[in-house]
Amino acid sequence: MGNDNSGRVENLAQVGGDVHGGIHFHGGRDVPVPRELPPEPEHFVDREEQRAWLDRLLDGDRRGRAEVGAVTGLSGVGKSALIAYWLRAHDVIERFDHGQVYFDFGSGRRTVDQAAEHCLRALGVPGERIPPTSQGKIALLRTETDHRRLLFFFDNVDDVRELLRLRPASPDSVVLCTSHRDAAELRPDGVAAIRLAPLDEDTALDVLRRCAGAELVEAELDAAKRVVELCGYLPIALRVVAARLVKRGGRIERVAAELQDRQRRRVRLEKVLRALDFATDGLDEPHAELYRLLGVFPGRGFTAEAVAALADLDPADAEDALEELHDRSLLERDDLDRYRFHDLVREHAAEAGRQLGADRREAALRRLVGWYRRQGAFADRKVMEPTRLRVADPDVAGKNPFSGKKAALEWLERERPNLLAVVGVCAENDWHEDVVAICDGPLWALHHQHKHYADTLAALRRAVDSAAALGNPVAEARMRSLRSQLLVETGETAQARDESERACAVAERVGHRRVLASALEFRGKALHACGDHFDAIGFFHRAHALNEEVGQVRGMALQEYLAGKSLVALGKYAEALDNLRTALDRMAGFPDDARTPERIRITMGRAHQGRDRHDDAISEFEAAIRSIRARGASFDLAEPLELLAESLVATGRPGAQDCLREALSLHESVRSPKADRVRGKLTG
């Protein structure tokens, strides 16, 4: 049974995080129905009493609130497998037709805040709508779950009491979780709990029969009984021992003797770790070496390509080696050919990895970091403008492995947890250039498309510190500028103003014109967000002049557009239109960027409305709407449709109600709070 949630993801513009299965849509609306549950485990046996308990939980009296059920017990006892098997074998999934969401807490490694954000993304909430605070995310989650039939499976929860903050609003929903901590004391809080004990001897023998073969077990039944006892009657230990027996052959009596010799070797989880010792002792040296190297991998799941870099192998050889470890039940594999450890096996592999010595561990991690840095740079160039400002890895030699933007963005989303983990490893080891490069490249490119505020803000904080430690003011100014933009987006405008001010101060000292132009632009955006529109325009003009000096035409267009927005806010509509028309003309030289011209036209329409020239406004809004429809970005339609309705009403033309109904449908599809405003216009 796995401890990570990874798998096929569709419509990544709507859903973030790692999931099992696909994202499906119903009713013709862009409301995703997540199907994230892990697959049914192999060789599952018994647990009839516990499955009956889950049946009663499902059919019990909800008392007007979502049911919460906790399966607790020792790691490796089969808690996750029990729930996964019951959900699929008992046809439970069909009862939750609005979706099933899975999240792995990693026994305290991930937080309620991260869980809430994952759930919101799985339910189709765009990143820009997700509040930056935990309280805001949890409140929005309750809104999103109201009147829906949803199943939430939270794995490896450290504190079930904290999990209650995520209880959905609808009594038709159910929350299931696993934890190593007993949860019986939470019954007054509406938590039904059951503690899962290790298997009894007969059931443990049945697992061994299914995994290693009934004839082998019956031929040495007494020895088999000693083996299941030495494995602590735990399913994870039984599986890895059985896999060794199948792979290498031999007698069960020898297995029992080998396990017995290690009986006092560990104190904590000794029986499971003893079984893992037995399984890994049967590996030949190349596979044992790979197992040790995987123990230093910083992320939770990995591909053959990443492991090839870590172990300095050919990717095909790495895949063969991973399959060997998978065959021995040391690794699990999902439907995207990503591998991961069970949490106990990961602990054992980490212990094995310490045997490599500091120099070999560092060399392996250096190779892995270099691979993520290079792959991330390639992905960045497919997702964003290849010539955009970058202060690290400005040039990447070789053929880009990504076929297009979609493939690159999917890779970035899948690898986001590993990219963040790599940033952490680099920061801990003072590999400051790598911290800056990964934040400046792949993480910023991903954030530009899919908003992951908390993680990206934390990574950029590290990047600022790394740039300062390097004594690299160019990188520091850039990292502070990017961080100020995230602070604007999360509504932390005062912090954004301060961070952008520091970025400008650093950039002014170094005199790098393009970096200074960027810092001035972000400073202007922060001031605009604070309502200081006049001062914002001054910074946009300074940035424009610098971009003109260095020949950055697209940068000039962006600053003309941003100045136009601030001029509209000040009521200087004619001057705004001059800026916006010039910006639109410049953007004609960048045909791959359709969204910026759309934003310019929408702002031009606002300026025309301010001058009471609604015919001109209608022309601009309609042009923007045509472009947005052509590129299939349906949610971007909501704003121009609502504005178009205003001008249609002002001119007495028909169609305003149709525009508002479509805008309302778009807002409702993602449960945007703006829906109430549009609904009021329809009924007012």
- Give the pLDDT confidence of 578-594 residue by residue, as tens digits: 999 999 999 999 988 88
Selection from 568, 474, 559 nearest residue 513 by Cα: 474
Quickly state the pLDDT bin for 385 (edges 50, 70, 90). confident
What average pLDDT does the segment 101-116 reach?
A: 90
Q: List the single range of 71-85, 109-123, 248-262, 307-321 with lowest mean pLDDT.
A: 248-262
pLDDT value at 28 more than 60:
no
Quickly state the pLDDT bin for 418 (edges 50, 70, 90). very high
pLDDT recorded at residue 635: 72
pLDDT recorded at residue 4: 40
* Mean pLDDT of the residues in the chain: 88
Selection from 291, 223, 286 nearest residue 252 by Cα: 223
pLDDT recorded at residue 670: 64
What average pLDDT does the segment 113-124 reach?
A: 93
Phi-psi category of residue 286: left, alpha or beta, with phi > 0 → left and psi -120 to 50 → alpha: alpha
Q: Which residue has the tokens 């031929």?
A: 219
Tokens in use for 101? 């969401």
pLDDT value at 24 more than 50:
no
Selection from 302, 346, 342 nearest residue 321 by Cα: 302
pLDDT recorded at residue 265: 39
What average pLDDT does the segment 103-110 reach?
A: 86
Quickly state the pLDDT bin for 655 (edges 50, 70, 90). very high
Alpha-carbon Rg for the chain, nearest whole angstrom, is 28
Give start and end residues of each alpha helix (H) in 146-234.
160-163, 201-212, 214-219, 221-230
What average pLDDT does the segment 454-460 reach?
A: 93
Percent of the chain with pLDDT over 90: 63
- Give the pLDDT confidence of 199-229 residue by residue, as tens digits: 899 999 999 998 888 999 999 999 999 999 8
What average pLDDT does the segment 87-112 reach?
A: 87
What average pLDDT does the segment 54-80 reach?
A: 86
pTM summary value:
0.75
pLDDT recorded at residue 25: 37
Q: List the single range of 275-289, 493-507, 515-529, 638-652 with lowest mean pLDDT.
A: 275-289
H or E, element range at 175? strand 174-179
Tokens in use for 501? 């001010």
Tokens in use for 569? 């806010």
Distances from the Cα of 507 to the Cα of 115, 352, 515, angstroms: 37, 46, 7
Is beta strand 301-302 parallel, antiparallel or unpaired with respect to 339-340?
A: antiparallel
What average pLDDT does the segment 167-189 reach?
A: 90
pLDDT recorded at residue 270: 63
Between 284 and 240, whose confidence is greater?
284
What is d(CA 321, CA 325) in angstroms, rounded to the nearest whole number? 6
